[in-house]
Amino acid sequence: MDFKKTATIQLLLLLPFFYSFGQKPIKLNDFPRKDIFYHAGVNKPTGRFNYMQIAQKLDVPSPGAFLESITLNRLIVSTSDSSFNQTKFRVGIYNKDDQTGGPGKELNIQIIEIENKLSENIEVNLKPYKIELTAGDFFVVITYTKDTYNERFTKMTADSIILKNVISNPFRLIASYQPFIAMSPIKGAEVKTWARDPSGKWTIYDYFAPELTDFAISAKISMR
pLDDT in tens, 182-220: 999 999 999 999 999 999 999 999 999 999 999 999 999
Would the pTM count as exceeding 0.75? yes
Residue 14 in domain: no
152 in a structural domain? yes
Choice among 67-71, 81-85, 180-184 with the minimum mean pLDDT: 81-85
Within a domain: residue 18?
A: no
Please report whether residue 11 resides in a domain.
no
Which domain CATH number covers 193? 2.60.120
Number of domain units in the chain: 1
Using 50, 70 and 90 to split pLDDT, how confident is the model at 162? low
In a domain, 131, yes or no: yes
* Per-chain mean pLDDT for the chain: 85
pLDDT band (50, 70, 90) for residue 141: very high
In this prediction, residue 45 carries a pLDDT of 66
What's the pLDDT score for residue 172?
A: 46
Kindly report the backbone phi and psi dihedral angles of residue 149, in degrees, each rounded to the nearest multiple of 5, phi listed first.
-65, -40
Evaluate whether residue 4 is within a structural domain.
Answer: no
What is the pLDDT at residue 89? 97
Q: In this structure, are strands 174-177 and 53-60 parallel, antiparallel, or unpaired?
A: unpaired
Residue 82 has a pLDDT of: 77
Whether 51 is in a domain gets the answer yes
Q: What type of residue sits at position 29? A: N
Q: State the pLDDT at residue 223.
A: 87
Is 39 part of a structural domain of the chain? yes
Amino acid at 76: I
Range of the domain at 113: 24-223
Q: What is the DSSP string of 63-126?
A: SSEEEEEEEEEB-----S-TTTT-EEEEEEEEEE-TTTSSEEEE--SS-EEEEESS-SEEEEE-
